Structure 1
Amino acid sequence: MSGIRRDRNIKIPKRNEKSQSRPSNYLPSRPAEGRKDIAKKAEKKPQQQKSNRQNFRPNNNRNRRQNDQRKAKPRINKPTPLDDEIWARVVEHDFENNVLTLLGESKFLLGRYRPKHTDKVLQLGQRVYVGVDRSKRVEVGDIMGMARLDKMSSGATKDLPIVIQRFIEENELYFIKSFYNPAGFLSLKQHSYELLHGIGNKKATQMVEQRGSSGFTSFEQINESCSIDAAELLAIRFQSELNDRNLQPRLSDLLLPVKT
């Protein structure tokens, strides 16, 4: 053989060698008969519970005892730092909301109180009793809680230094003997007078020279000799300490309460 068949070595079967086709073993499947119906279970009707109203007898005596016990329990007021205050000054009287904002004299704490008289307006800076003895509370009732400077009205914020200054002026001799006369150096470079607003090292040195060895005797003497307002500067310092609780040193902690 030659040509393509010889090169590829292709064998062509003869007619007698072809295999005869075998019969198939495939059987047709069973025709679908459908799904048999399953009998449903009979639903049980919910049984109605027998009411016990016939056997129920209200225990009125027991209910009355519980109500009496609830009414008999006294209202417990949570302790606040304002409980230690005895006297306070009026900072604001909110007549519409019936709320008093007072400044305690012993710690300079701001508190909210309920006035006893709704038809009487208390004056700015008025001194009122807020101690434990309720029989002595003529103007003030219950304590409502602490007052925050950022929640106070703009008028009350402006009047606060005036109230503090009036308190300082009424206790003039105490603050002169407790601060202005014994004031000394806090460090090698800072004097206690420099804690006051607008007082620098040069002004503090001048105040020490004017004080001398005998000391000051009145605010008027301090104001004339040092050209300052002694009560106003001290009031501004106290208000700064109210605004910033982290301000150190705190003159309010060192000088209060006033000891007569």
Structure 2
Amino acid sequence: MQRKRVVKERVVYVLDYMREGNPLDKHKFHRDKPLIQAVGEDYFLLLELTPLSYNLDFFPEDKIELDSNSSVKVDAHISYEDLTSVSKDNLPKILHKIVSEKEKVFVEIFNKAEPLTLKLHALELLPNIGKKTLRLILEERRKKPFESFKDIESRIGVKDVASILVERIIKEMQGGEKYYLFVYPLISDENKRLEQQFIYVGYIEKLK
């Protein structure tokens, strides 16, 4: 399933700032001008941005509002492979920050996620969630909805729910998935060539 609409991030976090540009960037206009790589907090889009002033400095983890008064211009959506090594290094930490700030929404995913097919439940796509753990999650949430990551961890016996979610988000960013629980997928030329079909579930969008 390819994108049927355009989505926009309201807020992004800086992954890397290159004041002199990125000589290896596939976009010529980014090779010798200030460039920001960033990740959005709603759809986890990876973006390249241009500062609107040469006098501005940006640092990893900086939060930028993409409104009419924004200090940057969105130039392009990029793939995980387009990220610099600095961006890739900073990504897990920044995703942890986003997941922690949206803990209430992510907890609701554990409370409300449903089967994707007769044989596959959405929660099984999360690392370390097998059939046995899934049954326990479903049993526990019927008794009482989960209230926090710590609540999930103590009642289910899994460790570090935030890291489990971050791992899944990064996997979706890397592409090649059939189901996208969190990341709005980028239509690449390779996906088009292979006629790859995928489904955007979009739990963050549904539950926020």
What's the counterpart of residue 206 of structure 1?
136
What is the one-letter code of the residue matched to 2:82? K
Helix, strand or coil for the counterpart of 2:107? helix
**Structure (1/2) with the larger strand percentage:** 2
Which residues of 2 match residues 219-238 of structure 1 at below 5 A? 219-225=149-155, 226-238=157-169
In structure 1, runs of 5+ residues without a counterpart are 1-80
Give the direction of change, closer, same or farther, for the CA distance of 1:188–1:87 in structure 2 (3 Å limit). same
What's the counterpart of residue 159 of structure 1?
90
2:47 is aligned, of 107, 111, 114, to 111
Helix, strand or coil for the counterpart of 1:181? helix
Which of 1 and 2 has greater Rg? 1
What's the counterpart of residue 27 of structure 1?
none
What's the counterpart of residue 194 of structure 1?
124
Separation of aligned partners in 2, 1:208 and 1:190 = 14
What is the one-letter code of the residue matched to 2:166? A
Which residues of 2 match residues 89-128 of structure 1 at below 5 A? 89-97=13-21, 98-116=34-52, 118=54, 120-128=56-64
Separation of aligned partners in 2, 1:141 and 1:183 = 36
**TM-score normalized by structure 1?**
0.58
RMSD: 2.5
Deviations 1:22-58 (A, max 9, x none): xxxxxxxxxxxxxxxxxxxxxxxxxxxxxxxxxxxxx
Contact 1:113 1:143 in 2 (8 A): yes
What is the one-letter code of the residue matched to 1:88? V
Q: Determine what percentage of the aligned residue pairs are the same residue.
A: 23
Give the direction of change, closer, same or farther, for the CA distance of 1:189–1:142 in structure 2 (3 Å limit). closer
Separation of aligned partners in 2, 1:183 and 1:192 = 6
In structure 2, runs of 5+ residues without a counterpart are 1-5, 22-33, 183-199
Separation of aligned partners in 2, 1:186 and 1:227 = 22
What's the counterpart of residue 256 of structure 1?
204
Separation of aligned partners in 2, 1:184 and 1:146 = 30
Between 1 and 2, higher relative CO (CA 8 Å, sep ≥ 6) is seen in: 2
